[in-house]
Amino acid sequence: MTRIKTYGLMLATLVVLLDQAVKYAMIVPLSLQSKGTIYLLPIFSLTWAENKGVSMGMFQAGTDAQRWMLVALTGVLALAVLVWMGRERRLGDVLALGAILGGAIGNIIDRARFGYVVDYADFHVGGIRPFFIFNLADACITIGVLILLARALLMRDKPDQRNSENVHA
């Protein structure tokens, strides 16, 4: 395994550990589940939300069978990201995939333990919420995907000098 892949796996591990530590803080010391909401700033609060679906609450799992189907599906997707990360050669792509992988695993752990993903980060302006309530894992997944998209759109490979010289010869 190359050093670049190790960095990706280290980032994924760090994301999982931080994600689970923050969720533990929401559940145990802060008791957010019983309080519902803790207002921190005029535009940010900690709000308890149980996401029984996947991204943006889609595909809600109403039964245990559906819950475990989502665990299996997201596990397959996490495995696909791991394989993709193993094939990448560029540090930026590997780190983006590491963030996605860590976020996916953090949310899989929640769904397996609780039957839902713990969400708590709530940005708002008055009653307007430009985002769904989310967590650190969701943020890492989103940032990783945005980095991959930006790199795919903006970081083009330079044409091989030897091939362009042969065309003009």
Of 93, 119, 122, 157, the active-site residue reads: 119
Radius of gyration (C-alpha) of the chain in whole angstroms: 19
DSSP labels for 11-33?
HHHHHHHHHHHHHHHHHTTS-HH
138 is catalytic: yes
Nearest to 141 by CA among 66, 74, 47: 74
Of 19, 93, 110, 138, the active-site residue reads: 138
Q: What share of the chain is helix, strand, coil (3-state, %, to 5)?
A: 65, 15, 25
119 is catalytic: yes
Q: In angstroms, rounded to a whole number, what is the distance separating the alpha carbons of residues 74 and 116?
A: 13
Q: What are the residue numbers of the active site?
A: 119, 138
